[in-house]
Structure formats: C-alpha cells, structure tokens
Amino acid sequence: MTASTPILEMEGVSKRFPGVVALDQVSLTVGTGEIVALIGENGAGKSTLMKILGGAISRDAGTVKIDGRPVEIRSPREASALGIEFIHQELSVLDNLDVAANIFLHREPTTGGWLKLIDRKRVYREADELLRKTGLDLPSRTPLGQLSLAQQQLVEIARALGTGARIIIMDEPTSSLTLTETRRLLEIVKDLRAQNVSVIYISHRMHEVEEIADRAVVLRDGKNAGEIAGGEITHERMVRMMVGRDLKEFFKGPRGNGTVKANEGFEVRRLRTLRYPQHRISFNVGKGEVLGFAGLVGAGRSEVARAIFGVEEAIESEVALNGQTLHIDDPQDAITHGIYLVPEDRRLNGLIVDFNVRENISLPNLDSYSSAKIINRAKEAKAALDACKAINIKTPTPEMRAANLSGGNQQKVVLAKWLTFSPRVLIFDEPTRGIDVGAKAEIYELIRKLAAEGVSVIVISSEMEEVLGLSDRIAVMHEGRLTGILERAQFSEEAVMRLATGTDT
C-alpha cells in the first residue's frame, strides 16, 4: 500500500522539555493512503511527535519531509497549508459558536469583496454536507455546546475533512466514543484511506489498531521501539514492544486478599453527582484494597471522586469509614477524616506550579509546621526534604518551582502532600497520565505499598493495562452509571470494555 515516495518522513527528531527528554532521535514514515498506528504508553512521546508535525511546538533536532522535500512547520497554520490536520485528544472546539462556525473556523468562505462578510449560505450547506459524511445526523446550525463529547469529536473530524487534508492525525479519537460511534469512526478512517488520505492514528485501544492499521509504529520513552507490519499486529506483540518488558514484572507488588469485611474500610452509598443526578453510585473499598475505576472518558468517574472529596457538591451522598458515617461538605472535612484526592489535572488542581516543591508539599498541612499561625521555615523545609527523599522526588532542591519538574516528579509532589498526613483513603484520578515509564513503575509501587499499609485505595484509570494490573477489584462506569464491579477472577479487557461501553445491559 505504501507508494514509492512516502508522503511524510520524519527523521532523527528530538525534543527536550525542562526536566525531561521527550523525544530522542525518533523517526516516522507514512505512505500515501496509509493508516499508521502510533502507539506507546502515556509519556512515550506520541503526542509530542504529533505536536511537532502539527506545528504546535518546535523540534530541537531532526528533519521533516513532505513528498520528499524538507519542510519547516512553524505553526498549525503552516501545517494546515501542507495538508496536515490534527484532531486533538483534548477537544479544541469552541462551544460558544455553532457547529458550522467550528467546522469553518479560520477559513470561512467570504462574500461582499473587501467587506469580508461570511458567506452563510455556503457555510451551512457545506457544513451539512461534511456532517453527513461523518454520519452525524444534525443540522450544522446547532450550537456546539448542545452536542455530546462524542458528537463534538465528530465535528472535529468533519472540520479536518473539510480542509481537504492529505495527512490526518487522530489523537485518541475514540477515547470518549461508545461502541457504535467507534465503529462509525473506524469506517470513516477506512474511507479516508480509500480516498488516498494518510492517517496517523494514536490509540490505546489495541483491537482498533489490529483492525485498521496498515502498520504500527511503537514509541517507548521517547525513542523508536520498533514497527509491526499490518498482518502481524497482535495485542501481545504491541504491548510487549510498548512496555519493553513483561507486564507481570510491572505489577509484581503485593496484593491485598480482596476480601471486604463489614464495618472496615471505606463505603460510599447512593452517591448522586451533579452531572448525572439520575444515577446512584454505591460501592465499598476494603482496608488495604485497591479498587480500580474503569470507563470511557466522561463516564462520570472523576465526578464521583470529586464529590467524595467534597470539592464538588453532591446532590446526595453517604460516606462511611470503618462503619462510621461521615459528613463531608468540603475538602477540609475530607482531609480531617483522612480522605485524600490526587486529582486528574495535576497542573490545574494538584499543584500550584508557581510555588516551589516545599510550599506545595506543606500547603495542606501548614498548621503543623507553625506556631501561633507563624510558619516555622526550618520545620517546613525539613518536612519537605524528608518527603522528597522518602518517595524519591528528583529535584535539585525543594526550592525548585514545581513547574520545572517532570510529570512524574510533579505527581509525586502531589502525593507527598498527602503522605505528610496518615491517609486512610486515597483516591487517584489518572495517576500516571503523561508520566514516563520509570516514574510510572514507582507510582505503582507506591500505590501497592500504601494498600499494604492498610490504606483503602481507589484508582481511576483509562489505561486498561493499569486497571487490570493494579486493582484487586474493578468498578466500571458508563455514562454516570455503575455498570458493574468485577472480581479478580472475572478480569479481562473484554469484560471491562463491555461494561464501559454499556453493551452488557
């Protein structure tokens, strides 16, 4: 399927960020009309490589060739001019405009000469046309804010189609889609191939890659880890190449026995979140147990975590620790009871990135380093230094701004905050997102160690391997509903996906 001259050649591409080498001499070749799956763990460098191709960030070294000619892509606009379109993992649509305006953003057909009035008739007609192509059955005048996450994703695809792109980059396009929507998307991708459009497809869903990819390129720790040709793509081969070692080694830590005793551990009863008020969530986590939370993006897992921690109001909830009902109105209450949250968005909620490591670690526990409300700097600095040593936070000094640390070390700072207390319940929301493999293994080890010490741990994760490898039991959610809790014996990727996509009920 590869044509004689590849449409895209990236060679020896390197990129360094403060605190981390994101890409080290990475190469990627894509043929015309070829679907190349770019796979690797979180933090392997896939997104960085694609951002370089999309013109969002600059490379430190290496060459990029389109049709055999070297090019410099300095902005998304230049990428677009070269026929490269990027469909982002984080939606980049504007919810204050309608669907058509989003599809034609920045390339609106105009009329009226120098007046540059938007040719509304054409915009809506062509937008409707593009929507039909993506199988999205709604008028393009609909305000985008009314669309579901999945529909918004399709709007992004319609936008890319409309530009007549030759290379379309899809970064986790199915992470928020249901099975039916995923099927439709895969058909669209195949259609694109038939029209000689090249697709770079980034996904964690191995069976999708198996189905559509002509070739899989694997990245690990910012380097090329290998390639697998179309017919030979299997789940096992990909995972082995991605992780670089046997998975079992990764998750070898001690496990709890998985039994839950009455009046011990943590219990949530009839929790209703603001986002999904129609569903009641009940579950429990034993002392020393790790309960995984699986589901698609937007399934309502983070909302549950935030409601438990009191940072988001719950319509109704009952929370009990060791049989004793607790009253949690705000995070202060949760913290008092030994319930802590390591939030999904480190930089927004977990840390104050402009604070240094010491100030971040001491923030929730300041009172214990102060007398008469005056902070004892020596005490505070010592506690921070001890915390850095205890969980191996790599920073020259605790006085370093948190913003300059790598993702893995930032995550450890967030965790260190809570370890200065003695946690009883720890909730991790996507604990290893954007973290390199080494730091990941350390975080897993910490989670298992905390569980072994008797902490009730909840791990929300969208990474299948992580959820399966780390949990004693797995709770699965779909569109705000708890669709099932799997015991160890029932663990399998298929079982989780069935519950996560709501096809079982």
Partner 1 sequence: MKKELGIFVLLIVLCIIVSAINPNFLLAINLQNLARQIGAFGIFSIGLGLVIITGGIELSVGSMMALLGVLLSMMLTEWKLGVVIAVLACMGLAMLLSLGHGLLITRLNMQPFIVTLCGLLFYRGLARFITKDETKGFGTVAGLDFLRFLANGNLLGIPMPFVLLIIISAITWVALHRSVYGRYLFATGRNPEAARYAGINTKQIVTLTYVISGALTAISGIIFAFYTNSVSPANHGNAYELYGIAAAVLGGCSLRGGEGSVVGILIGTALLQVLRNLVNLLGIPSSLDFAVMGAVILIGVMADQIFTERRNRRQVAVMRETTAR
Which of 294, 284, 252 minimizes the C-alpha distance to 457?
284
Q: Whose Cβ is closer to partner 1: residue 4's or residue 371's?
A: 371
Q: Per CB under 8 A, does 330 bind partner 1?
A: yes
Mind giving me the DSSP string for 191-229? HHHHTT-EEEEE-S-HHHHHHH-SEEEEEETTEEEEEEE
Cβ–Cβ < 8 Å for 292, 473: yes
Residue 363 as a binder of partner 1 (CB under 8 A): the answer is yes
Kindly tell me which residue out of 396, 489, 494, 505 binds partner 1, with binding defined by CB under 8 A: 396
Answer for which of 204, 223, 412, 417 binds partner 1 (CB under 8 A) is: 417
382 lies in the site for partner 1, by CB under 8 A? no
391 near partner 1, rule: CB under 8 A: no
Applying CB under 8 A, among 115, 194, 262, 348 the residue interacting with partner 1 is 348
Question: Of the listed pieces 101-109, 167-175, 370-378, 469-477, which binds partner 1 according to CB under 8 A?
Answer: 370-378
Of these, 332, 392, 422, 492, which contacts partner 1 (CB under 8 A)?
A: 332
Q: Hunting for tokens 């249901």 — which residue is that? A: 178
- Among the listed ranges 22-30, 130-138, 264-272, 372-380, the one in contact with partner 1 (CB under 8 A) is 372-380
**Element of type H or E holding 167:** strand 167-171
The window from 14-22, 110-118, 140-148, 191-199 that contacts partner 1 (CB under 8 A) reads: 14-22
Q: How far apart are CA 60 and CA 434, in angstroms?
A: 20
When asked if residue 14 is in the footprint of partner 1 (CB under 8 A), the reply is no
18 binds partner 1 (CB under 8 A): yes
Q: Where are the beta strands (DSSP E) in 380-455?
A: 425-429
Q: Which of residues 106-145 bind partner 1 (CB under 8 A)?
A: none
When asked if residue 274 is in the footprint of partner 1 (CB under 8 A), the reply is: no
Binding of partner 1 at residue 378 (CB under 8 A)?
no
Among 2, 148, 234, 404, binds partner 1 (CB under 8 A): 404
Q: Shortest Cβ distance from residue 360 to partner 1 (Å)?
A: 8
Amino acid at 453: E
DSSP 321-373: ETTEEE--SSHHHHHHTTEEEE-S-IIIII--TTSBHHHHHHGGGGGGGEETT
Beta-carbon contacts of 360 under 8 Å, excluding residues fewer than 6 positions away, are: 351, 352, 402, 413, 414, 417
Q: How far is the CB of 89 from partner 1 (least distance, A)?
A: 21
**352 binds partner 1 per the rule CB under 8 A:** yes
Is 425 a binding residue for partner 1 by CB under 8 A? The answer is: no
**Nearest distance from C-beta of residue 157 to partner 1, angstroms:** 31
74 burial class (0-12, 13-18, 19+ CB within 10 angstroms)? exposed
CA angle 447, 448, 454 (to 5 degrees): 95
Q: Which residues fall within 8 angstroms of residue 262, CB to CB, at 6 or more apart?
A: 323
Closest approach, Cβ 438 to partner 1, in A, equals 13
| Chain contacts with partner 1 (rule: CB under 8 A) | 16, 18-21, 309, 311, 330-332, 334-335, 341, 343, 348-355, 359, 363-364, 366-367, 370, 373-375, 396, 400-401, 404, 406, 417
